[in-house]
Amino acid sequence: MKGLLGVLNHFEPKILLRKVLPLLLDLLKFKHLIPSVIYICLETMKNGKIITEQDFREKVWPSFKRVVQGKEMTAHSLYLFVDNMEKIEKVIGLQ
C-alpha cells in the first residue's frame, strides 16, 4: 500500500471513483489493511480533487462506519479517526 497515494494523483477522478475506490474499500475486510485504507481515503479527501465531500458521504463513510462499529479496530485505525475527527464531522454533517 506504500506509494499508492502518490500514484492515485495521476489518475482521473472518474476512474478513481468508479474503479479504484470500490476495490480500496473492499480491502477494509482485511484487518491488517484497515489503517492503510483509512489513511489513503482521508488523505485523498483532504486534497478534495479525488474524493469530494459528497463522494465521502455516499461511498466512503458507509464502509468506514462498519469499521468504527466493528469490534476489531486497531489502535492505529482509531488514531486516524480521532486525528481527522473535525474533518469527518464536517463532511458527514455531525455539527
At residue 13, the pLDDT reads 82
**Nearest 10 degrees: CA dihedral of 45, 57, 30, 50?**
-30
Instruction: Indicate the pTM of the whole model.
Output: 0.82
Give tens-digit pLDDT for 57-95.
888 889 988 888 887 788 898 899 899 888 888 887 764
